[in-house]
Amino acid sequence: MKNAGIRTGAQYLEGLRDDREIWTRGTRVKDVTAEPGMGGGAASLAGFLDRQHEAAYRDIVTYEDAQGIRCAISHMVPKSKADVVQRGRAFYEWATWSNGMFGRTPDYKNASVMAFAHAPGFLAQGSKGQADFVQNMTRFYDEVRLNDRVLTHTLVNPSVSHAQATSGKFDEEVALHVVKETDAGIIVKGARLLATLGPLSDEIEVFPSTLLRADDSNIPFAFAFAIPIATPGLKMICRDSYDHGKSHFDAPLSSRYEEMDAVVIFDNVLVPWERVFMYGEPNLCNQAFAQTNAVVHMAHQVACGKLAKAEFMVGVMCAIAKATGRDKDLATKGMIAEVMLMAETVRALLFSAEQQAHEDQWGNFIPLRGPLDASRNLFPKMYPRMVEILQLLGSSSLMATPTEADFSNAMAGDVEKYFQLTHMDSRDRVGLYRLAHDIAVSGFGNRQALYERFFFGPPQIMSSVYFDGYDKDSKIARVEDLLAQA
């Protein structure tokens, strides 16, 4: 099946059954696709990959390349504004399949690899190590695109001391660093945070943290590479699963979309030179995501996903208001309108970015960065507020949630009677509030909120970068102008 383009779900699942070293709940996992608390997420992603082949979605999420091979649109190099819009449509479609609750669909990383592989002048600046970085990245892009590989990534070194981290230094005991260079490649040792979808991916991209201080002491920490998860010496330690084996009725989201996060340990891992993309140059590493515009393409995918998620939150809230008859209540309408405004803000920013798409320095088209930066800085604040509003709307109903089993036991009559609403029978009401519970109360839901707060980076640093890049002078000039008229 090599180089056949989009894969089926079964092919993806088969690929996960290798020698990977995944640890959870104190034991090593034999088969991630069959592991309780992990296999459900893999099955959902397999279902999404299958959808790429279905007539209803195929032309939305895939394209045929020059050789007639059908690939995911996230790999398509945008050469016009229409291409950017088409990519956005595909990102949005993928996100609707989980209503944004499976955050790390493969199109996120695909967007980044596409950008890196089509900014050759950038990687060509790398002058250290025994590798042709441009050729390596081009080959990697083809490998991922033509085999529909699923990637995770890890960018952050664990910090032992906040003071050390903010001074741009890393601790050699824990941070991932190069320990040796050989003719075969580099040997790396240490840990990295945090690989979402790690145990359920084919490969891991280990890209530079964007906070390397550009001095010689940071050279061992400066690199970018990608290797299969099953590479000897690579281990993942998973967090607790939020999929507790419940039915889709009892846990509509956590039973389906447990994508898992893992800390990644590299125990003297050999990375072959042909998989190294940057090496030993902190300055180059620091510029990588911005200069290749990978950050813009990733932010595009993210904004599309957040729109789907925000719309879903509006849907859940409106369904609750309708069922309870509170859709005429002023306070309820006010709270839901706040969420509607958030969804429409993301939509407007996305539209603005796509409609102002332009050619970049590499001859590719990118959406306008400013609106996407606004969206990715705003959503980490919007989402926790959406959850709060859902808690306020749901109140004790989020606790009045008997299980599916209570509809077929000795309590069934009571449950049918006492859980009904004006506009909804008991079973539908319990199902709806169990969904709201999975968003606003469960471990799965709380992890979603944490994800939205942090997955794109530390919010203080993101907003500080936004502040630095914002055109402040023209605004200050207007203030000075007014004051000068005094």
Ligand X SMILES: Cc1cc2nc3c(=O)[nH]c(=O)nc-3n(C[C@H](O)[C@H](O)[C@H](O)COP(=O)(O)OP(=O)(O)OC[C@H]3O[C@@H](n4cnc5c(N)ncnc54)[C@H](O)[C@@H]3O)c2cc1C
Q: Note the Cα 183 to chain centre separation in Å.
A: 35
x/- letters, 187..216, toward ligand X (CB under 6 A): ------xxxx--------------------
Residue 104 Cβ, how far from ligand X at the closest point, in Å?
A: 6
196 marked ligand binding residue = yes
| Of residues 431 and 443, the one with the C-beta less far from ligand X | 443
Q: Which stretch binds ligand X (CB under 6 A): 325-333, 396-404, 450-458, 472-480?
A: 450-458
Flag whether 447 is marked binding: no
Q: How far is the CB of 400 from ligand X (least distance, A)?
A: 29
- Tell me if 451 contacts ligand X by CB under 6 A: yes
User: Least separation, in Å, of the C-beta of 238 and ligand X?
Assistant: 12
- Specify the residue, 153 or 369, whose C-beta has the smaller distance to ligand X: 153
Find the part of the chain contacting ligand X (CB under 6 A) among 124-132, 139-147, 154-162, 468-476: 154-162
403 annotated as belonging to a binding site for a ligand: no
From candidates 24, 33, 44, 154, binder to ligand X by CB under 6 A? 154
169 binds ligand X (CB under 6 A): no
| CA 6 – CA 12 distance, rounded (Å) | 10
- Residue 458 found at the interface with ligand X (CB under 6 A): yes
- The yes or no reply on residue 156 touching ligand X (CB under 6 A) is yes
- Segment near ligand X (CB under 6 A); pick from 73-81, 140-148, 155-163, 335-343: 155-163
Cβ 252 to ligand X shortest distance, Å: 20
Asked if residue 249 binds ligand X (CB under 6 A), the reply is no
The nearer residue to ligand X, 384 or 459, going by C-beta atoms, is 459
Nearest approach, Cβ of residue 17 and ligand X (Å): 22
- Residue 137 as a binder of ligand X (CB under 6 A): the answer is no
Residue 209 is assigned to a ligand binding site: yes
Q: How far is the CB of 115 from ligand X (least distance, A)?
A: 17
Interface region with ligand X, contact rule CB under 6 A, candidates 151-159, 229-237, 378-386, 417-425: 151-159
Q: Which is nearer to ligand X, 134 or 191 (CB)?
A: 191
What number of chain residues touch ligand X (CB under 6 A)? 21
Q: How far is CA 91 from CA 272, 326, 349, 478, in A?
A: 32, 34, 15, 40
107 appears as a binding residue in the annotation: yes
Least Å from the CB of residue 212 to ligand X: 14
Place of tokens 């808690």: 391
In the complex, what is the shortest distance from the CB of residue 221 to ligand X, in angstroms, rounded to a whole number?
Answer: 14
Per CB under 6 A, does 167 bind ligand X? no
Does 261 participate in binding ligand X (rule CB under 6 A)?
yes
Return contacts of 168-174, CB within 8 angstroms, 24+ apart: 168/211, 168/212, 168/213, 168/218, 169/213, 169/217, 169/218, 170/218, 170/221, 172/220
**Ligand-binding site membership of 166 (annotated):** no
Binding residue for ligand X, selected from 23, 249, 351, 454, defined by CB under 6 A: 454
Which residue of 69, 179, 237, 450 would you call a contact of ligand X, by CB under 6 A?
450
384 is a site residue for ligand X (CB under 6 A): no
Q: Which residues are annotated as a binding site for FAD?
A: 153-155, 196
Q: Which residues are annotated as a binding site for substrate?
A: 104-108, 153, 209-210
Site residues, ligand X (CB under 6 A): 153-156, 159, 166, 193-196, 261, 447, 450-451, 454-455, 457-461
